[in-house]
Amino acid sequence: MNIGSRIAKLREERGWTQEQTAAAIGISRAALSHYEKNRREPDTETLTKFADLFNISIDYLVGRTNVPNPPLSPDVREFVDSLELSDEQIMERFSLSVDGRKLSPDETRRFIAFVRAERSMRGN
């Protein structure tokens, strides 16, 4: 089953019209029709909106699995997404190493700083 067929099936199972579904994710009915008929494939942002709307995984939409429900409940996923450790907690909990050698506390701090700087340059 392809992406369009899965989207159509999920929409129909819920008894939603194309207009209702398209409005729910902020696309036109024509765009949804193109997706469902496999004339176009949704971009990553739109796939994410479909997955959130139907409470399924993107892997299911793209055919990587036949299990539509994500392994984590929405509450657990939200908790995991919001989880962030401080630099000190990372150093206490994890033994980071490079090339088989454990990073010193100073190297770990520089590593974290490097990742943050790289992300800020990319706008993430």
The verdict on 67 and 89 lying in the same domain is: no
Which domain does 10 fall in, by range? 3-73
b/e burial code for range 50-62 (CB count within 10 A of at least 16 → b): bbebbebbbebbe
On whether the CB atoms of residues 32 and 22 are closer than 8 A, the answer is yes
Beta strands in 24-86 (DSSP E): none
The count of domains in the chain is 2
Q: What is the CATH number of the domain that holds 19?
A: 1.10.260.40
User: Cβ contacts of residue 109 below 8 Å, gap of 6+?
Assistant: 87, 91
DSSP state of 69: S
The per-residue pLDDT for 121 is: 82
pTM passes above 0.75: no
pLDDT tens column, 2-60? 999 999 999 999 999 999 999 999 999 999 999 999 999 999 999 999 998 998 888 88
Residues in a beta bridge with 98: 101
The verdict on 61 and 95 lying in the same domain is: no
